[in-house]
Structures are given as C-alpha cells and as structure tokens.
A and B are shown apart, each in its own frame.
Chain A
Amino acid sequence: MVSRCGIRSSVVVILAGCMAALVGTPAFAQDKDPNPGAMTLTASFDFLNQYQFRGIRQNSTGIAMWPAVDLGIATYSGKGGLKSLGVNLGTWNSLHTGDTGSDGPSGKLWYESDFYASLGFGFGGGTSFTTTYTSYTSPNGSYSTVKEIMFKLAVDDSGHFGKGAVKPYVIVARELDATQDGLTNGQADGGLNAGTYLEFGGAPGFSGKKASVSIPVKIGMSLSNYYELLGVDNKFGFFSVAGLVTVPLGGTTNFGAWNVHGGIEYQRLGTTTQAFNGGEANQAIYSFGLGFTY
C-alpha cells in the first residue's frame, strides 16, 4: 500500500465546490430561504470506491466514506473593488473499510480528519482569491499529520460566457512544518522534503430544471518535492476529468436545500503516483452521496 496523507481528493474538491454552486443556482432556489443571515452551513456524505489525494492512492481495498461539514461566514459584501469577504471553517473526513481502515492494521475506520480555515476575497469580474490553512490528521495513525497553506485564484466567467463558462482556477499549496521529532515527515508523498503543489483546473457545466451537470478538469503538478519517488521529484502528478450529476431533492425548505449527486472520475497518473497506485497508470473513481446547504 502506498503512502500517507490525504485530503479531499479531486473529487471532493469538485463535489464540494460544485454542489454548493449548483445547489445555489437560481434554478433550484424556488422557495423562500429560511436562512437569509450571514452564516451558511454546507454538509455532505459521500461513498467512493477509491480515494486518491491529488493522485496519490489512499486505499487499495474496501470503500471510502466522506462526511464533511463547512460553515461559511459572509463577513462583508459591498460594491467597491472588494465585492465580498468570507471566512470558511470546516472539517472533512474519510472513513475506510479496507486496508487503511477497519480491515487494516489499526482496525479503525477513521482514516483521515481534516480541519481547515479559509479567508476568501471576491473582486470584480468574478475573480476571487482564497487562502486556506489545512491540518490533515489521521485518527487511526495511518500517516503523520500534514499541515498546509494553499492559495487559490479563481475566475467565474459565467458573466461573460454564460453556458460556455469554464470557471478556471489555479492552486498553489505549500506543506508546512514537515520536520517532526527530528524526522522529515508530514508530507503527502511521504518523501524527504516538504513539497509545493500546483494545480490548474476548470469546471464547465450547465444547470437544468431537474438536474445539473458539471465536467471538472484538473491537472496536478509538483513545483518542488511534491511527488517524490526514490529521491526524484517527478513534476507531473495527475490529470483528471470527471462527470458529475446533481439532482436537487425538492426546493429550499425549512430544512435547507438537499441533493443527491454522483459521478465518475478518470485519473491519468504520473510516475510517482503510478508507483503508489501499484503500477497502474489509470484510475477510475465512482462516487455518489447526499448533500445539503442551509
């Protein structure tokens, strides 16, 4: 079995982002919002056949379950150069039945628990810049804690392109505090040095009356030491393309807006991630789950 770490893999980032975005579109906001305040709660529970964190395999057998909760706080909204300012706090978890969970050496289901805090700035033209601190911990002791700071620049170009919008973004993430107890650890790749990660992506999609479809595409690369293998840092980590369908369960009610969602993701892995994946360069990920926003 491969290394360590985790965080929400591609699918989770996509799901969390897309679910919130899709559920929040006017097509589904049919009823009066019971919560017009500045706090928004988003939660989900997903099932997957495979958990790949930025292309790095996290389980070989069994299934993964992802309960997640996020509290968004809209601290400022204005019409100047700075359109919005928001804070998000959340926890994301991965429960495994297979070799890195209840069937593994620890005998414990709870493979991963992440805590994160984000500060997001929204500017004109749909541009946003978000800084996120994440602590990736493993309650069942499968890996040493990884701490990371991440910067995300995104553009929501749907104002210009409508249905043809691709919503591009770029992420740069840096692992922090990778030396613990005199040892170098706390890294996603279990390597020798703390890494810096780069991701380019986009999430074109469209919304219908009864469902929404999103086709997120992303490429993950190492800027330095993020995909180490036998002392060599391989630049290309993975490429992924997915198809996600979200179906709202009714409109917005006093219990919030609920949805079911599912998708298929294909990942093409690089040298390091392929080695971590048992030599297999291609990986298919199937997922489905339940989400809600309030």
Chain B
Amino acid sequence: MTWVAVALSMATTPLRAQGTSADPNLGNLKLTSGFDVTNAYLFRGIPQDDTGVIMWPYADLGITLHHGDGALGNVGVNVGMWNSLHTGLAGLDGLGKLWYESDFYTTLALGFGKGTSLGVTYTAYNSPNSGFVPVKEVSFKLAMDDSGPLGRYASKPYVIVARELEGQADAGTKEGTYLELGAAPSIGLGRVGVAVPLRLGLSLADYYEGANGDERFGFFSVAGVVTVPFSSRPTRFGSWNVHGGVEFVTLGDRNEAILGDRSKVIVSGGIGLSY
C-alpha cells in the first residue's frame, strides 16, 4: 500500500506543475485510482499471501477544504477504498473467494509551513472472504516534504503511529500500537520518476505478538519504484501512468516464523490515474 502511494504521488506531482493550464479538473476534488498486480502481500511485514496472483484495485477521493498562506496552509479530507484480490491460498484456491481484503479509510490532513503535514486516518480493514477478523485502527502520520530546502536530495521523512481499536493485525491477544519510520527519496529522469522508499516497522506495544511475546522489530524494507506517465500533461481523461517496482523486505522473528523465510522479494506493477 505504501509504495503504491509513492508511485501515485510521483506521477502526479510533476504533471500538476507542468500542466495546470491544461488540467480539466480545476475544482477542489481530486480522484486517484489504480490497479496493481503483485506476487506477495505482506501487511507491515505480516505475511498475508505469497501464492497465486494478488491484485490491488484502489480509489481515493481527496477534498481540499482550505488552502491559504497562513500557518495552517492546507486542510484536506481523503476518503478511499483499497482492496486485495487473491487467486492463491488466501483467495480463490484456499477460501473459494477472490476478495481477501477491503479497506475503507478517511483522513483529515493538515498542512503547515516548511512542508510539514499531519494526517489522522481512521481505517476499517475488512475481509469479504473471511480471511481475517476485521480490524479498526486510527493512525497519525507526521511528514515533512523537504524538497524545498534540499531539492533533489530531499528524503521526505515521515513517522506513523497507529493504534488498533478493535481486532488485531497479528491475531494476538491484545490490540497493538505500531510505529513506522520511513522516507521516500526520489528523482526525476526526464518524464520518468524513480523513488526509493525505505520503511522500518516496529511494535510500540503488542503489535507483533508471537510465541515469545511482543517483538519490537517487525520489518525493514527498501524498494525501487519507477513511474512512467502516459502523457506530459493532463488530458481530459486525467493523468495516467504505468508503474512498477521491486521491494526487498527483511522480517523479525515473529513474521519470519509465519512466512518461513527471513526475507522476501516483492515484485509488482500496475496502472494509475490521477484526475
């Protein structure tokens, strides 16, 4: 999910800057959507499935409520849906139904000066094929877009703290609290965007419960994501792109025990739309 967001943001950022005059959508609503295919799905390092083909259709509606020059630069709300369809053991082959996961989320995002932003997100993780018990979560993301002072050397660091309200990602005994530290440095090579997102997932409390109790270290991942826009400017049909990437994930003991391996290479590709 995370590097999907990276791919989309890469696809949209330069295009917006280049082609505002040709943008058919001048209002406060923005639609972002995509369809990705991958070989494995690890949710914050917790193995979900690595058999068959896994497909991720998703859509997000962003609403800009306020845009100004004061201390509070932007206020926005996002509402979206993210899904995971599996042909393998977590889907058709194992549970008889393709639709493994359906997430609904809503975010309130506040943008401050110097590229700093704070987002509060409520997410309901559901499993239409009953592959897991529903999880409800609230998360807080503090991010900094440092491309202003650092230009192409910007690392765009962020920190996420998420608290489970009901249900558990690790199917443990207690609701957990998750911490993620990450960054997403990127460069533009002509029309092609390349990002190298880094993520470290940790348990602050009961997030990675295993045979030996709660384990602090959940996973570390590094990825390379390439995004190629279909056109240099937005069209009447929005801005489309194809993107693909490779992610290397190394796991903590608890997640390794489930996967049966210490690390995993995840390959994925897809098509994205921003309108």
Contacts and interface: CB of A to CB of B under 8 A. Distances in A.
B234 to A, nearest CB: 8
Chain B binding surface SS class: loop
B159 interface: no
B237 A37 contact: yes
A60 B170 CA distance: 36
Given A37-B237, A38-B236, A39-B237, A254 B128 contact: no
B237 A38 contact: yes
Interface in A113-163: 113, 137, 139, 141, 145
A294 B238 CA distance: 14
B223 interface: no
Interface residues of B, number: 24
A256 B237 contact: no
A92 to B, nearest CB: 13
A38 B239 CA distance: 12
Interface in B156-212: none
Interface stretch (B26-34, B146-154, B243-251, B254-262): B26-34
A41 to B, nearest CB: 6
Contacts of A254: 26-29
B107 interface: no
B184 to A, nearest CB: 28
A94 to B, nearest CB: 14
Nearest to A141: B130
A141 B128 CA distance: 8
Nearest to B63: A255
Contact of B29 (A38, A91, A137, A256): A256
A137 B99 contact: yes
Interface in B82-119: 96-97, 99, 102
B24 interface: yes
B15 interface: no
B128 A137 contact: yes
A73 B99 CA distance: 25
Interface in A238-287: 253-256
Contacts of A36: 24
Interface of A: 34-39, 41, 69, 71, 73, 91, 108, 110, 113, 137, 139, 141, 145, 181, 253-256, 294
Interface of B: 24-29, 31, 33, 59, 61, 63, 81, 96-97, 99, 102, 126, 128, 130, 134, 236-238, 275
A-B pairs with lowest CB-CB distance, top 3? A37-B24, A34-B27, A38-B236
27 contacts: A34-B25, A34-B27, A35-B24, A35-B29, A36-B24, A37-B237, A38-B24, A38-B236, A38-B237, A39-B236, A39-B237, A39-B238, A71-B33, A91-B81, A137-B128, A139-B99, A139-B102, A139-B126, A181-B96, A253-B27, A254-B26, A254-B28, A255-B28, A255-B63, A256-B29, A294-B27, A294-B29
